[in-house]
Amino acid sequence: MSASLLDAFALRVIDASRPASPSTASIEFAVGPQAVLVRLPMAMLPFDSFLGTFARQHQNFAGGSGNTLALPECNATFVGLLCRFLCECQRSSAQRFNEYQVTFESFYDAFTSGGAASHEAASRQYVQERRLAAQSGEASESDPGLDRDDWSGVSEDGDQAFAGVVPFDEFESVDSVFHSLIRKHREDAKQICTRQPELLAGYNGALMRHLDVCAAMGVSRVQLILGSGYLEFPPEGFESAGSDAHENPLPLERHASRWIARLSDGPSVAHELRVKLVGATFPGEPEGSRYPACLMEESAEDNELTLFPRLVPGFTLWGRMSAEMHCTGWVRLCEGAADRSDKLEARLFCLSNVPRRRRLAPLLESAFLALGDQTLWAQLNFHGCDDLTFAIARGVVERQSKLKPFLATKKVAQAEADKGQNQAAVERLLKQWPGKDAVQALAVWWMAATLCDGHAYTEPELYAAIENLCAMQADFAVIRKEMVRRGFLTPPEIVANTDRTTTTYYRVSMVSMRAALQGEWRTKGIF
| Mean pLDDT, range 369-379, rounded to an integer | 90
The predicted pLDDT at position 309 comes to: 83
Give per-residue pLDDT as tens, 232-272.
999 888 888 654 434 443 333 456 788 999 888 889 999 99
The predicted pLDDT at position 304 comes to: 74
Q: For 12-16, 191-195, 435-439, which range has the lowest pLDDT when averaged over its residues? A: 12-16
Helices (H), 320-436: 362-369, 373-383, 386-400, 414-417
| Mean pLDDT, range 12-33, rounded to an integer | 56
The predicted pLDDT at position 69 comes to: 81
The predicted pLDDT at position 425 comes to: 66
Amino acid identity, residue 468?
N
Q: Are 369 and 391 in contact (CB under 8 A)?
A: no
| Mean pLDDT, range 444-458, rounded to an integer | 94
47 vs 513: CA distance, rounded Å: 18
| Mean pLDDT, range 18-23, rounded to an integer | 43
| Mean pLDDT, range 71-77, rounded to an integer | 83
Please give the model's pTM, rounded to 2 decimal places: 0.78
The predicted pLDDT at position 159 comes to: 43
Residue 36 has φ and ψ, to the nearest 5°, of: -70, 125
Give per-residue pLDDT as tens, 472-510.
999 999 999 999 999 999 999 998 887 788 889 999 999
Q: Is 80 exceeded by the pLDDT of residue 80?
A: yes
- Helix (H) / strand (E) containing 224: strand 222-226
268-276 and 345-349 beta bridge pairing = antiparallel
Give per-residue pLDDT as tens, 393-433.
999 999 888 999 999 987 765 444 444 444 556 789 999 99
Three-state helix/strand/coil letters over 261-308: EECCCCCEEEEEEEEECEECECCCCCCCCCCECCEEEECCCCCCEEEE
Identify the band that residue 216 occupies on the pLDDT scale cut at 50, 70 and 90: confident
Sorted by where each starts, the structural domains of the chain and their CATH numbers stand as 1-74 (no CATH), 96-106+217-285+305-353 (2.60.60), 111-213 (no CATH), 356-523 (no CATH)
Give per-residue pLDDT as tens, 319-344.
998 876 677 788 999 999 999 888 88
| Mean pLDDT, range 134-149, rounded to an integer | 57
Q: Is 80 exceeded by the pLDDT of residue 392?
A: yes
Q: Are 222 and 275 in contact (CB under 8 A)?
A: yes
